[in-house]
Chains A and B, each alone.
Chain A
Amino acid sequence: MYNQSLKQLSTGLRNKAFSSVELSHYFLQRIKRFDGDLNSVITLNEEAALQSAAQADKSISMGEAGLLTGIPLLHKDIFCTEGLRTSCGSKMLDNFIAPYNATAVEKLAQAGAVMLGKTNMDEFAMGSSNETSFYGGVKNPWNLQTVPGGSSGGSAAAVAARLAPLASGTDTGGSIRQPAAFCGITGIKPTYGRVSRYGMIAFASSLDQGGAMAKSAEDAAIMLQSMSGFDEKDSTSVDRPVDDLLAHLDRPIKGLTIGLPKEFFSDDLDAGIAEKIEQAIDAIKSAGATIKEISLPNINLSVPAYYVVAPAECSANLSRFDGVRFGYRCEEPKDLEDLYKRSRGEGFGDEVKRRIMIGAYVLSAGYYDAYYKKAQQVRRLIQQDFARAFKDVDIIASATAPSVAFAAGEKKDDPVSMYLSDIFTIGVNLAGLPGMSVPCGFVDDKPVGLQLIGNYFEEARLLNVAHQYQQLTDWHLRVPAGYEQE
Chain B
Amino acid sequence: MQWETVIGLEIHAQLATNSKIFSAASTAYGAAPNTQACAVDLGLPGTLPVLNEQAVRHALMFGLAVGADIAPYSVFARKNYFYPDLPKGYQISQFDLPIVGLGKLDINVDGVTKTIGVTRAHLEEDAGKSLHEDYHGMTGVDLNRAGTPLLEIVSEPDMRSAAEAVAYVKMVHTLVQYLGICDGNMQEGSFRCDVNVSIRPMGQEAYGTRAEIKNLNSFRFIEKAIAHEVERQIDVIESGQSVVQETRLYDADKDETRSMRSKEEANDYRYFPDPDLLPVEISSALLEQMRDKLPELPAAKKQRFQQQYGLSDYDAEVLTAQRALADYYEDSVSRVANEEKLVANWVMGDLSAGLNREGLDITDCPVSAERLAGLVLRISDQTISGKIAKRVFELMWGSIDSADTIIDREGLKQISDSGELEKMIDQLMADNMSQVEQFREGKTKVMGFFVGQLMKQTQGKANPQELNKLLQAKLKK
Contacts and interface: CB of A to CB of B under 8 A. Distances in A.
Could you tell me the dominant secondary structure of chain B's interface residues?
loop
Interface in A290-335: 312-313, 315-316, 318-322, 324-326
Interface stretch (B83-91, B409-417, B419-427): B83-91
B78 A316 contact: yes
Contact of B268 (A99, A201, A364): A364
B47 A368 contact: no
B87 A320 contact: yes
Interface in A346-387: 360, 363-365, 368, 372
Interface string B102-125: 000000000000000000000000
Interface stretch (B10-18, B271-279, B289-297, B352-360): B271-279
Contacts of B470: none
Interface string B131-160: 000000001010000000000000000000
Contacts of A313: 272, 275
A100 B39 contact: yes
A80 B45 contact: yes
Interface in A189-227: 197-202, 204-206
Interface stretch (A7-15, A228-236, A475-483): A228-236
B207 interface: no
A43 to B, nearest CB: 15
18 contacts: A79-B46, A98-B44, A99-B44, A197-B48, A198-B48, A200-B46, A201-B46, A233-B48, A313-B272, A316-B78, A321-B45, A322-B89, A324-B84, A325-B43, A326-B45, A363-B271, A363-B272, A368-B271
Contact of B42 (A86, A102, A206, A325): A325
Contacts of A247: none
Contacts of B80: 315-316, 319, 360, 363
A96 B84 CA distance: 19
Contacts of B84: 322, 324, 336
A235 B51 contact: yes
Nearest to A360: B270
A6 to B, nearest CB: 27
The residue among A201, A233, A312, A372 with the most chain B CB atoms within 10 A of its own CB is: A233
Contact of A205 (B39, B43, B82, B276): B276
Given A202-B46, A236-B275, 6 more contacts: A93-B45, A100-B44, A198-B46, A316-B89, A360-B80, A368-B271
B50 interface: yes
B49 interface: yes
Contacts, number: 104
Contacts of A200: 46
A235 B49 contact: yes
A236 B278 contact: yes
Given A98-B44, A102-B46, A200-B46, A368 B278 contact: no
A80 B275 contact: no
Interface of B: 39, 42-51, 78, 80, 82, 84, 87-90, 139, 141, 268, 270-272, 275-278
Given A324-B141, A363-B80, A364-B270, A88 B45 contact: yes
A340 interface: yes
B302 to A, nearest CB: 42
Nearest to B39: A100
B89 A235 contact: no
Contacts of A234: 48, 50
A98 B275 CA distance: 23
Given A320-B89, A324-B141, A199 B47 contact: yes
B306 to A, nearest CB: 48
For the complex of A and B, list the 7 residue pairs with the smallest distance between their C-beta atoms, beginning with the closest.
A319-B89, A206-B275, A363-B270, A205-B275, A199-B46, A320-B43, A201-B45
Contacts of A93: 45
A363 B39 CA distance: 27
Nearest to A368: B272
Contact of A319 (B49, B51, B82, B268): B82
B264 to A, nearest CB: 13
A321 B49 CA distance: 17
A235 B45 contact: no
B96 to A, nearest CB: 11
A404 to B, nearest CB: 33
